[in-house]
Chain A
């Protein structure tokens, strides 16, 4: 068995944060059989995180074998994670994605994304929500980060 990426101390901290989880969340992992340096670690990490709460589930896909699904969810990078809402069999995509391994600072973003999507509430100010209500064209925000 592969060594765990998350130690017990981290797991217990995450478990505390996950007390805020409300509705189910599905993490969709897209990897590749081709050259993908961080796919294995990302999949393992996602697996260890979803194992912490019953409200979280993980589905594993391949960007080539599941190309149509990848297109549907706008995934064009591996490893890619889609943080989607799940209600019964229904999966709802909000357009919340991560590209690359969520380690370091990105790891806390992953944890907070799970809580965010679980709440189904953006938590944005009234002003921002009013602005977004008037947006009727596609907006792609790409936030570049580094692990340190």
Chain B
């Protein structure tokens, strides 16, 4: 059913602004997430400089509180999550033998919403109104009475980005449920795609909770509501419940994809199938499910009563069991293998002991009466950095070195990679191990300074030195990426002797991924073929015209509309020296204009009939269409 209409194909910048191709969107997420990772990293270095010595006045107290707020919010929402989506986009369709995700247009929309959400949050720096209530934004500190103007950037930025994440999660759920290649049952799906699937399910159920919380806070702050106003019947603890019902699954959203990456990398570089595949799947499902049952362990010191605390304590400790199952299965995957030490596998191997350390402090924190000492101290800071940085970020580095050739057609320099690992890994442990002790010694978190003579001075200095080493490692990675970009694009399809479908096609793949959808005959589909002496996958269909989705400018315009609307609502009641501008904001003209732009995009998209286009067989036979 070929259409005779002209196919709009863009080049250069317009290609990137209008793309709906999951592979390009993956690269966009990598660049966007990578950029915000650097921003969050600079914020971290500034924090650690201020804390290097007692009573330093490098940063005033309020600026420090702004920095810790932005560091946490940026790293979690605008660095970690986009980098996860980068790999989900780049890899999942290839691993399941699909040509793209289920909804390519929505996929692009997810990306631009994330980017503009991150812009909304971070332009607060340029308006000198930065949120300072912590990434957790507890009321009343974030509320209309005690919160500064900057909290509005937090409230709006996260709502915009949150919509993007939610629709992204839905997209991947549908993709994985509907678009697996013939023969790929769920239990033949690679672990990274499994974790992408479960992560998407967590996103679906968790993000609405924080959206509700943010909407309530937005109404309190901007529209005179009283949800959290105790004088009019509000309750401050309500915010905490809404936040953490999201917040706890969120950290499993962060770590599950890393678990997936580790499974892939360890298996490939041991040349062995994953040990205990069904247990691994089951354990991951259990972790995801239990992740929704434990949120109030962030609230042990609120005073909810013994029954609540006891129940949540036990549920929290139970999660250690499926997590432990995974650790043992990774170790036994390597047992009896031929282990290769590359940068990717070094990061994956570094993950195992580091994440175990983070996990065991998690069990300790789950013991509620012990948590009465640990809570809001540096012990917690140590724990979550061990699991997020020592877990997720090490996993992301492993994924980066592993999948870089597939994404860019070039292999990252191994020598620089190993030095990146050494610097980052050493720096990481130096920074955060000592913080366990600081917490036990009584150092609270979110403090802009501390008094000398308490025995905390040397530990803080060591921690700062570690942070600088991590920064150096990150810079080295950046240098590596830039240098590699200038190398010829000649990576082989399968540089690591891989086992899964993404290695069956060229690096980078053609626009349509698979000329013919492959027939999957078992777990580790490519390895099954290799074991039988085949060089390629058996096709599951004849060569035919391939239907492709059209590029579109709508997603970016849609997101710009929400940026404008956010600023319009935020500044509605602010004073302006220019009367005309003041009236524009006061009468909500700006806000409505932004919303109109966004709704206009929805109308155009709904009305305009776009059936995509086809790549014909002749083009395919000519070695296909490349990026």
> Do the two chains belong together in a single complex?
no
Q: Which residues of A contact B (CB under 8 A)?
A: none
